[in-house]
Amino acid sequence: MRRKLQGTDMKKQWEDENCPESDWEAVTEAVLFTMGGSVELGQLAAAIGQSEEEARHVVESLQRRYERENRGMQIIELENAFQMCTKTRFYENLIRVASAPKKHVLTEVMLETLSIIAYKQPVTKLEISKIRGVSSDHAVNRLVEYGLAGEVGRLDAPGRPALFATTEEFLRRFGIGSMTDLPSMNPEQEEEILQEVEEELQIKLEEGKEAENGLPEAEDINPVAAGDFHGFLPVTVD
């Protein structure tokens, strides 16, 4: 009898420290809703007092239930973390009762810069500029402002330039679960892109040289030929 009571007490103590299995999904749902942002799998595991493997089973079961019941919310995975958010197809319905969020317009230059960061990360501004052939400081700064890229460290080189990489917001905005989900380029595509960049750089270098070589010295300029008649008096012929 004593042993049985001890066993009952141990079970009660275990349930006090670790919520019962019937509450795992409810606890996970509560944590995701309360946190608002992404929650790491380890945090969900701590919330239900189980292993990360078990926590993944629970949150994935909750994901399927949301889809099956056609909820307005969904649970998405972002690099071994999970977040509860509204479904994008209800955006038009939401802005009828809420102010439309400010949209960040991504220009072609910013998209090109973001692509380089995504595939080459971590990468410095100088490396990005070399690939694009022009300064990319402004584009990188705007991407950081929009939360799509961020500084992740410093390169061990003179001047210790900042290293940039994509953020969790980038994954969220582009509907990517992790960086491994990015479309991969085959060697031929990569070679083609590199060739295009080299050709573009060569054209810009040649244009710069032509501009330098074709510019005459100031003393050699014929003001009349140049269309500058200011300061010239009419010449009379006897």
Q: What is the pLDDT of residues 37-75, one digit of tens each?
A: 889 999 999 999 999 999 999 999 999 999 999 889 999
Q: DSSP assignment, residue 156?
A: S
* Distance (Å, whole) CA 238 – CA 105: 70
Which of 38 and 197 is assigned the larger pLDDT? 38
Confidence at residue 179, expressed as pLDDT on a 0 to 100 scale: 80
What residues are paired with 83 via a beta bridge?
Answer: 76
Domains and CATH numbers, the chain: 12-94 (1.10.10.10), 108-181 (1.10.10.10)
**Is 178 in a helix, a strand, or coil?**
coil
Please, how many CA atoms are within 13 Å of residue 106, restricted to the half-sphere of its CB?
16
Q: DSSP assignment, residue 81?
A: E
- Count of C-beta atoms within a 10 Å radius of residue 124: 18
Taking 90 as the threshold, does the pLDDT of residue 32 lie above it? yes
Which of 27 and 101 is assigned the larger pLDDT? 27
Count H helices and E strands in the chain, helices first: 10, 5
Which of 8 and 235 is assigned the larger pLDDT? 8
- Percent of residues, the chain, with pLDDT higher than 70: 68
Which tokens go with 11?
A: 């079970």
pTM beyond 0.85: no
Confidence at residue 39, expressed as pLDDT on a 0 to 100 scale: 93
Confidence at residue 225, expressed as pLDDT on a 0 to 100 scale: 36
**Is 151 in a helix, a strand, or coil?**
strand
Average pLDDT, the chain: 77
pLDDT tens digits along 134-173 = 889 999 999 999 999 999 999 888 889 999 999 988 888 8
**For residue 72, what are the contacts with CB-CB under 8 A and spacing of at least 6?**
86, 87, 90
